[in-house]
Amino acid sequence: MGNTLRRLYEECYSPRPEGGHGVSPGTAGFDALARDLFQFENTGQVPEGLSQHLEASKKTQATWYNKIQAAWKEEPPKNAEQAATLIVRALHKHHKVNVEGLLAFYGLPYPAASVQIPEQTLQKWPVGVKFELHSLQVDARAVADGDTITVYVDTKKPRESSEVPVSVQKAAMERREARTRRDYVRADALQNQIADAGYRVFDGARNGDDILSRKYRIRLRGVDAPESKMPYGKEAKEALLNLIEGKSLHILVYEQDRYGRSVGDVYCGNIFVQEVLLKRGFAWHYSQYDQRPEFAEWQKEAQAARVGLWASSNPQKPWEWRKDKREGVPIATFA
């Protein structure tokens, strides 16, 4: 985005009257937004006078500009109409009055009817979903067992961009400089520092640029797969790996469990991962925590077909296996 904004700032921007932006709808508003994003990228400061138009703290305003900036980087708008649409979509979780106020501040046109501004929060997820993630491609190391995976999310995504600690940003920059100097010992030490903070740098993964990403541990919601030492534990892990390896995942997160994992529904393209695991008999429906009727039906299908763990006449439930292990009950072994 830097080059795009710099070009707009240097070539298109012309001085405006003091006392607010005072821009008219169209190109002037587009140029003003580009200029302010360029300045925000360098200073971290939102435009003067914005607080007079919106009832929000400076910290909240900075969060908005981080989201808009991240969205601009992904797909730079070419005109005022596209810029208005970008703002609406980047701020879809914020109140309509604030979105409209920001558009008015820049004199940007109200988006077409097909682009909806939410009254409060745009409800595009199932009830209970707190947020969504779009992961980078996962590898074999991502799968811990049949119901737990580790994913990484690009910090340029709107939700992530405003939450990266300054110390992590600084370490990522110093690591890049160390690699340029071929000081790989220093670079590895900085990568470890970044990892300790819950992040990771992927080298040259996007157009030759590094990707600073945030780590999430994901617990598949509503299912419980056999543990690694249980019958079908290895098969369950392999089934999950075969579904997601090399793929980018879409995850709807509902909550965080006591182990710090994000509990969510996982999609790989058009495939609902929990559905496949249940239908193939590589997971139990965890009905104690999730009463979705379709999960029960998918499990019944696998039981009727005697596939996966249901090939056994009396498979042990994972939660009972874990309870026995905690209580010191001898665990049965299987050939």
Active-site annotation holds for 258: no
Catalytic residue among 35, 89, 219, 221: 219
d(CA 321, CA 335): 17
Angle of helix 27-43 relative to helix 80-90, nearest 10 degrees, comes to 50
* Residues present in the chain in total: 335
DSSP letter at 69 equals H
Known catalytic membership, residue 182: no
Q: Tokens 């405006």 correspond to what residue?
A: 16
User: In the annotation, is 48 catalytic?
Assistant: no
Q: Which of 35, 89, 221, 261 is catalytic?
A: 261
**Do 303 and 279 form a contact (C-beta atoms < 8 A)?**
no
CA 86 to chain centre: 18
- The secondary structure of residue 119, as a DSSP letter, is S
Exactly one of 89, 221, 227, 280 is catalytic; which is it? 227
Contact 225, 144 (CB under 8 A): no
Cα dihedral across residues 193, 197, 203, 204: positive or negative: negative
CB 331, CB 324: distance < 8 Å: yes
Active site residues: 219, 227, 261
